[in-house]
Amino acid sequence: MSIILENTMEKVRNQSQKLGFSQVIRECREAMGIKRYRAAEFLCMSKERLRNLEIAFFRVKPRDSELKAIAKFYGLSYDMLDKKAEESIDSIYHFKRKTK
């Protein structure tokens, strides 16, 4: 990885504590300058699945295999992604209960 790309990714990783799951993975992909379809190929998932993860359009936490692949590809902590994915599900659940 080039020095410029590594510095950019480090900035995103540092900001990741403030961002939600979907924002983290989208910011990482964009920081790397990779199109969604290409990232999906590397992650062994469909581009639609990656899109849904990037816009927080999921009802259950992503599979461990998906989280591990994302963590490895973007150089993120699996534990951090797992926690953020769980928080995303909780916030979606609470939002739906408030709107009923």
Which residue numbers in the chain have pLDDT < 70?
1-5, 7-8, 16, 90-100
Q: Which amino acid is at 21?
A: F
The domain of 78 spans 3-99
pLDDT recorded at residue 78: 95
Residue 64 has a CB neighbour count (10 Å cut-off) of 10
pLDDT digits (tens, 9 = 90+) for 67-79: 999 999 998 999 9
Q: According to the model, what pLDDT value does residue 97 have?
A: 47
* Cβ-based burial of 52 (10 A; exposed 0-12, middle 13-18, buried ≥19): middle
CATH assignment of the domain containing 52: 1.10.260.40
Number of structural domains the chain divides into: 1
